[in-house]
Every structure is written in structure tokens, then in C-alpha cells.
Structure 1
């Protein structure tokens, strides 16, 4: 009787309930997503392409503020992310718009349908990449859903590199950040990714990519594993997408296991021209060919990788000294010198899709943000721009006679 009484009065702790809910949801997700094309692709290790569309409201109309192409290889757990500047020149026949960010706004206004507008954006991005990638999936996020998601995962930690100040009383946007480490809630994170600054849309792309790295890192917090059911439910309610609730859950499970070093961040190749970002057709095609066939290019192309090293630190002779260090490590440094402007952070540009070699250089230097900026015309594989955070390894400068 006493044992029965204790069992009847047993109470599950909140952590137990959350864990049980997670297990139930995981079981249901596996069962219900068995026939889902996206979940099936994950199980079979097939590449998955999609677009992330960030929208805002301006003058009571919805606009596309952010556009990102993502391509995931489940077999290698490797993710490619290509940021598409919103001023990218795109003027298809039969339409009056000139920029890629006008596609969503036009079709949302004329078709009165969010999903129809998102479908047109998918088609536009396919056309932008010369139909080298079929894009079956989209996720549309607005400011409100963005803030709720960031708050739900506990905010993000970012290192602000420079003062960020912007005031727009008409648009009710006020952004103020001082340099240094910051923990940002949803509102602050939104301000960070929206800020343009002197570098315009390209500087904004850099910040958005840093932010995405921070989100992936934050998502690995064990506490968020227990919150997966709630995160899934909130996303299903707050975002617009053509994937199911169970596919969202499967995607979050994959995100939890994704390593930051297995994300290759790139920007749509091109250059500013008048009021547009003019697409470099040749390099865009080359970048897609690196991504779509396989992820084999993440492995180093060989022991002799051609490098250029530029000193933006203000420390005399640093480019030559770092060049010597990298040569001792087997890299072929073919050029070095002084960069045109000073910068605080070291930047390591992967110009050929060989992210592993770029990451190795960052490890040797103990600093450096790695980004992919594909350019087939460059004679070098990697461009290293040394910032004020560059410090030569002690003893590494001693040259062998």
C-alpha cells in the first residue's frame, strides 16, 4: 500500500517533462517525416538547397531586406551560405524592377500571397545562378519572428568591431553599439544585422555572416536541446515556409550537430556599379560549380597553396614576418606588402573555395576571420589581410641559415 501511495504521488520534474516531450516529438518527427522529401534527403545524404528571405515593413508595404542562399550536404554535414546583396542588379524581361530585393515586394503586392512571392524569389535566385541549382525550399522571417527566435535560444554573443551609431526617427530605428564583446537579445541582434554603416550593404553582409556563426555556436548550448519542442513550435507559428513542422524539427537536429568550421560563408561575386551590385557571371558560375557537385573542395588543394599577405595592422615589417612563418608551414607566399587602410581584425579570404587551407592559416596565426570570396581570375588561392590583432608566434621569426 505504501509503495502504491508513493507511486501515485510521484511528480515529474519540469526537466523530465521537457525531455519526455523532446523524445515524443523526435519519435513523431521520424514517423511523420518518413515520406517528406526534405527529411528523406537528409537520411539519404542528398544535397538540400533553399533560400532564407528576411522581410520588413516600409510605408505599410512588405519588402525583402535580406536574401541568403543555403546549400547543405548531409553526408558531410557541410553547409554553404551565399549572401546576396539586396542591391544586386536583377532585371528580368517583362518586369520594371531593377534589384533583387524588389522581386518579393512586387509579387506580394500583385498576387496578395506570401508563398507565391517567396516562390518567385526562389525562381529569381535560380536565374541569378544561371539555373545551376534547383531551389525547392524557402524560409521567410520577419523582424518579429527573428527577435522571438533569438530570445528563445538565449541571445547571442558577438564582438562589435567599431562604433555603430544610426538614428532614423521616421523609421523608428535607433542603433548604438560601442566596440567590444556584447551579449545581444533579440532586439539588439536585429539592430546589429540591420546596420549598414560606411561599408554599405557589403559591410552588412559581413556582419550577418558573423551573426550566423554566433547563432550556430549558441544553438549548441545543451539547454537548447531541451527547448527543441518549444523552438520548433514557435518557428512553425512565426515563420512562413514550405516545409512541415516535422521537417523544421529535423533541420534543428542537424543544426545542433553542425560544426562552425563546416560552414563556408561566401558572398555573391560581383562589384558595386552605380546604385547596384553588378553580378560577376563567370565567378558566380565558378562558385556554384564548387558547391553543387560535391563538398570535396573543402579539403586542401595541396601542399603548395599560393598566398598574398597584406599588412593592415600598422606594425612595421609584419607582412614579411608572417610571410616567412607561412612559408615554413609549406605555403607559397608570392606577394606581400602594406594594405591601403588599417583594420582591427585579421581577414583571411578564401578565393578558390579551399576553406580548409584558409582555416589552417587562421590556426597558425591564432587569429583571423575566414570568409570565401570566390575569384577565379586571382593568381592566389588565399589573401591574408593582417589586422591589429595579428601577433607573430614567439620564436617563429627566427630564420634558419
Structure 2
């Protein structure tokens, strides 16, 4: 019985992580006590026989019968069992793509045009790697799953107040750490209009919520709710991940620590093209970015440990939409503690500035490599509660 509970717990963890906001397994075709499946699971847990997998998460608004049901959320989960490392990559819904017969589109149009398969193929072309599986979940399933878990504790970054009466969307949350039920969690992950960087900050919060949800799922008390959770998963979530594949990765996912999960947003720049807002990407930049995410985090253990002690604020002084969020994500990958993202009001900076209040030359040199066109300004007053302020100019 203990073995069965362990396998079901691992399946749940993999499901929750792969779905980002929920998971799924074909329980109708899976009997955890089936000795054949247990044998297949045991045979396939050798790290030499299982490979890295990429799973595309599709969060879809299916509440309106007239809505084209574009994918409101697209997240790529990549997991490598050989290193027991994972990354969660947000793909902005405005990312510009080209589809046969449809021309230039935003990437969230791929799902309503061609279903999960076209969405997977499109993301595969974008990142230059195959996407193996997909998981799709709607708003109702997300809310129910959070409630089944007993809520998820999360630090709401700002006061959130937004009402869209036409779309029946009402968001009212107070800033601070709190236990969110399903309804409040949905408000959190849908909120974007109050952020300086709008959708780019929204996807960052979505990733943070996913990690909080992952930690909650690892709590032993989750096993007491397993039947209710799996019923919700079976009812609301659609996927093409076979049950045997879930079992195959079970032992590995149980050992995955939060510290071994990188999070990031697909690199790109928000731009208006013919009056339409797009997120423009560069294939070469994406290729290098994915390679960095795939790198073994242990290779940078000392660097990350040093960088974690450096508190940074990133301010958008050039007026380029999304610049601060993108830079903050890049710095976090290097291990820096980005404590604030905001805008400079009333002044436009042409040149990016690194305002340094530390005596750590190595950190300054590293920041200059990341922000290649920046100048360093030494702040001898040091009255700020952050070590470095980065003001992004128009030259980024």
C-alpha cells in the first residue's frame, strides 16, 4: 500500500508541475495496484533510459460560448531526469508567429486554429526543440484544484482592483502573504492591467504561483485529499501524457527541489506593428537563452550564492514596454535578488545606468556584461535599501 501511495503522490506532483495550474492522468485506464504497470515503472526508472521532456501547458478561457478560446496562458515545462533539473518558461500570448494559410498571428491563436497539436508544433519551432506533450486546463478546473489542495499560500505583490463587467472579470485582492482559495487564485493569475509591464509581470506571478502550488502539493497532507484531487484532474484537465510515462518519471519528480527549478520568460521585445501589439523574438537569442536554461545550475553554485546577497531594483527609464520585466528575469537567472520593478516617471533616459552602492567589483563587471551598453555610476551616499539600481535607457 505504501508503494501505491508513493506512486500516486509522485503522479500528482508530476501532474501539478506539468500542468502549471493542475494536472491530469487517465485514471480510468490506470490501476495503481496493477503489477504490470508497477513493473513497467520499475523497469524505466534508470536515468539512462529516460530522456528530457518538454510539456506545453495551455490555460484556456472556456467560459464564453462566443470567445475564440485562445490560450490565455502558455507555459513550457522542461524536465531533465538525468540532472533532476527543470525550468518553467512563460511564452507571452502576444508573441509574433507565422502560420501557414493564416500569415502573421499572435501565438495564442495557434490553439483555436489547430488545437493542441498546432500549439505544440508552433512552440517547438519557436524554441528549436520538440515539444513532447501538452496539458490543457480551464478556469473552473484551476479553481477546483486549488480548493482541493486546501488553498495555496502566496505573496500578492500589489493591491489588485480591476472590474471588466463585459467580460465578467472582477479582481479584488489585497497586497501581502495570504492563503488563496480557488477563486482568489484565479484572480491573481489573471490580473495584469495594474502592472507597469502588464502581461510580462502577469506571467512572472503565474510562475511564482506555480512554484507555491508545487510546494503545497509536496506536503504529506496532500495524500489525504488524493481522491478528490484526482477526480478534479480527471474531470477538468486534458492531456496526451500516457499514464505509463507518469509512472516512469515518478521517482525522479519526488526528488525535485524548488531550488532546481529555473523560471523565465521567453526573451523578446514588445512592439506595435501596423497598430497591433506584438512580442517580437529573435531565433538566435532564443537558442542561446534555452541553452542557458538547460545548463547545470551546479556549475554556477558559487556565483549564484554571491549574487543572492545583492539586492537590485530595475527601473524602466527608456519607455520601452516590457524592458524592466525582461531584464529582471535575466538577472534572476544569474541569481540576483530583484526586489523591485518599476518605471521612471517624468524623465527619459537615453543611456542605461548601473547605480552601484557596493564595493563588489566582480558583481559590477558581471552586470556590465549583461547590460552591454550601460554606464556605471557610483553612489557614495548609499542611503538606499538596495545595493544596485538599474535604470534602463533607450539604448538597451
Aligned pair partner of 1:200 in 198, 201, 212: 198
Aligned pair partner of 1:48 in 41, 46, 53: 53
1:76 Cα deviation after fit = 2.4
1:151 Cα deviation after fit = 1.2
Closer, same or farther: CA 234–303 of 1 in aligned 2, 3 Å = closer
Aligned residue in 2 for 1:110: none
Aligned pair partner of 2:173 in 170, 177, 187: 177
Aligned residue in 2 for 1:136: 132
Aligned pair partner of 1:166 in 147, 162, 181: 162
1:302 Cα deviation after fit = 6.8
1:118 alignment partner, SS class: helix
Could you tell me which runs of 5 or more consecutive residues in structure 2 were left unpaired when the two chains were aligned: 10-31, 319-324, 341-365, 375-382, 388-396
Could you tell me which runs of 5 or more consecutive residues in structure 1 were left unpaired when the two chains were aligned: 1-17, 108-116, 314-337, 370-375, 393-401
Q: 2:58–2:74: 8 Å Cα contact kept in structure 1?
A: yes
1:236 alignment partner, SS class: helix
Higher relative contact order (CA 8 A, sep 6+): 2
1:92 Cα deviation after fit = 2.5
* Superposition map of 1:293-312 within 5 A: 295-300=295-300, 312=313
Q: Deviations over 1:124-159 (max 9, x none)?
A: 001112x3x111111011111111211111111111
Closer, same or farther: CA 304–137 of 1 in aligned 2, 3 Å = closer
Aligned residue in 1 for 2:283: 281
Q: 1:88–1:99: 8 Å Cα contact kept in structure 2?
A: yes
Query: In the aligned structure 1, how far is the partner of 2:252 from the partner of 2:172?
Result: 34
Aligned pair partner of 1:75 in 73, 76, 82: 82
Aligned pair partner of 2:150 in 129, 154, 167: 154
Aligned pair partner of 1:271 in 269, 272, 277: 269
Aligned pair partner of 1:217 in 202, 215, 218: 215
Q: Deviations over 1:259-287 (max 9, x none)?
A: 11111001111010010010132210101
Q: 1:89–1:99: 8 Å Cα contact kept in structure 2?
A: yes
Aligned residue in 1 for 2:393: none
Who wins on radius of gyration, i.e. which is larger?
A: 1
Q: Does 1:232 align with 2:237?
A: no
Q: Deviations over 1:374-399 (max 9, x none)?
A: xx99713999xxxx99578xxxxxxx
Query: In the aligned structure 2, how far is the partner of 1:128 from the partner of 1:347?
Result: 18
Closer, same or farther: CA 267–29 of 1 in aligned 2, 3 Å = farther
Closer, same or farther: CA 280–237 of 1 in aligned 2, 3 Å = same
1:91 alignment partner, SS class: strand
1:240 Cα deviation after fit = 0.6
Aligned residue in 1 for 2:111: 104
Aligned residue in 2 for 1:126: 124
Q: Does 1:28 align with 2:26?
A: no
Aligned residue in 2 for 1:379: 369
Please give the TM-score of this superposition, normalised by the length of structure 2.
0.67
Aligned residue in 1 for 2:390: none
Closer, same or farther: CA 226–185 of 1 in aligned 2, 3 Å = same
2:143 alignment partner, SS class: helix
Q: Deviations over 1:246-266 (max 9, x none)?
A: 544666765443211111001
Aligned residue in 2 for 1:63: 70
Q: Deviations over 1:49-106 (max 9, x none)?
A: 1100110134244221100111101122211111000011112232245100001112
Q: 1:89–1:277: 8 Å Cα contact kept in structure 2?
A: yes
1:118 Cα deviation after fit = 0.5
Q: Deviations over 1:221-245 (max 9, x none)?
A: 1101344454334323321101134
Query: In the aligned structure 1, how far is the partner of 2:171 from the partner of 2:238?
Result: 27
Aligned residue in 1 for 2:240: 242
